[in-house]
Amino acid sequence: MTVPGLGLRREFVFLALAVLLGLGAAAAYWVSRATVLTIAVAPSDGTEPAVIQAYADALAKRHKEIRLKILPFDDVRDSAAALQDGRADLAVVRPDVDLPDNGLTLAILRDQAMIIASPEASGLTSFPDLDRKRLAILAHRDADQELIKAMVEHYGLTLLDKDPEGPLPPRHVALVEMPEADLAAAFAKKRVDAVISVISPTAQAAQRIIGIVQGASKNRGVAFVTVANADAIVARLPRLQAVSMPAETFGGSPKVPAEDVATVGASYRLMARANLSRPVAADVTQHLFDAAATSARLPIHPGAVDYFEREQQGFVERYETWIYLVAFLGGGIGSAVAWVGQRLSRIRRERIEEATDRLLDIRREAQDGADAERLEALAREIDDLAGDIAKHALERPTEARTMSAAAIAIDAARSTVKRTIVAGQPSGEEPDLAERMTSTGAATSDAAG
């Protein structure tokens, strides 16, 4: 009888190795793949869309680990809402307009100051001086008006967004919207008393506006409205920020302004959802900004803090949990593979032992005196068992003790069957079966040994 499955194929080992290599390749791909983040960008007429688009293009061109999918909006309220409701991972936000509950600051994209300027002879240097005055506003945005309204009301004044006919009532301030090209004529005709803008002091538009005000002044002097106790106002209105315009921001001859001007302002910020991972937030910030953006009063994402303070997590720190998990699983997989190997080895040994037991049974059956036909069948079974054992000995390592026992059993079974065959034949004759067993027995015994 031939023991089925005695020779286990190498395919199992190859399959196991292929599975492990596939898992390793999948893990390597997962770790190295780029993270795609959706970013909501606004306002459409600001500088932010161009900046973010250039940033996204640079990330893709340099094959960085971060990719940006841009979601454009016309107004910063819409971009803030996209972050709030989960449509975006990042967003350009103006906190004084709308601050998402789940948003944390990565960096400041643009600082803006509220600038109120007039010809020096006007004497407008503080907010109470604006009572019953008309202020020209050029690039009108609802967001800017909200800031202006908050400041005017802080000083007990009422803001009118339309210019009424005739003198203004007491404790009222009117906004007069006009294009930049009409500003000089408006000053000349006394249609406006000052110009107000929420803008970066270093922007080219700010430089042009102050230049127009200088042109309307006889001595080219400019009066700026100063916000007294700006820090106290920011404490009351925390979505604003205190801003100081240094002397000579707009020129040095004459000095404009002559001394530092304290005011308030707003900022366009790149914010991330609070649950964005720290490593990803640090990567986003690292590729875009330097540490100059840490002046923010609003909550800053921990990942951005890591970059600003130069405490980015290294590869081991960043993937520490995964490394430990892989090491743990790797140890478990290794133990499992070792157990499977031991189990297969035991199965092979058990099957050889079964073959050996069968050979010993054949020897006993031959000793009990079987007929010639049965002896022929036993001889063929011995050949099959010997062939299987020899094949196994060539293909797979097995304990020497087990193989030695099998070889002895083969020799013993062959010898017994041969003697029984010889004993049953007339004296002086040796049948063909006995001769065949004599020749094949030596070969198979050598292979098994």
The answer to whether residue 11 is domain-embedded is no
Give the three-class secondary structure for 244: strand
Kindly tell me the burial class for residue 181, based on how many C-beta atoms sit within 10 Å of its own C-beta (0-12, 13-18, 19 or more): exposed
Residue 380, domain extent:
322-448
Q: In this structure, what are the phi and psi dihedrals at residue 402, rounded to the nearest 5 degrees?
A: -65, -45
Do 251 and 371 fall into the same domain?
no
The answer to whether residue 74 is domain-embedded is no
- pLDDT value at residue 428: 47
Provide the token pair at 149.
């309204």
- pLDDT, the chain, mean: 79
User: How is residue 259 annotated by DSSP?
Assistant: S
Residue ranges in the chain modelled with pLDDT below 50: 1-8, 291-297, 312, 427-431, 442-445, 447-449
Do 220 and 361 fall into the same domain?
no
Provide the token pair at 187.
């000053």
Q: Which residues of 363-390 are buried (b: 16+ CB within 10 A; e: fewer)?
A: bebbeeebeeeebeebbebbbebbbbbb
CATH code for position 117: 3.40.190.10
- pLDDT value at residue 4: 45
User: How is residue 226 annotated by DSSP?
Assistant: B
Among 268, 284, 299, residue at a domain's last position: 268
- pLDDT value at residue 27: 63
The answer to whether residue 134 is domain-embedded is yes
The answer to whether residue 28 is domain-embedded is no
How many domains in the chain? 2
User: How is residue 135 annotated by DSSP?
Assistant: E
Do 340 and 437 fall into the same domain?
yes
- pLDDT value at residue 8: 45
- pLDDT value at residue 318: 55
Element (H, E) at 367: helix 320-367
Do 262 and 121 fall into the same domain?
yes
Residues contacting residue 52 through CB under 8 Å, at least 6 positions apart: 39, 41, 68, 70, 92
pTM score of the predicted model: 0.58
- pLDDT value at residue 295: 44
What is the spatial distance between Cα 250 and Cα 121, in angstroms, rounded to a whole number?
A: 18
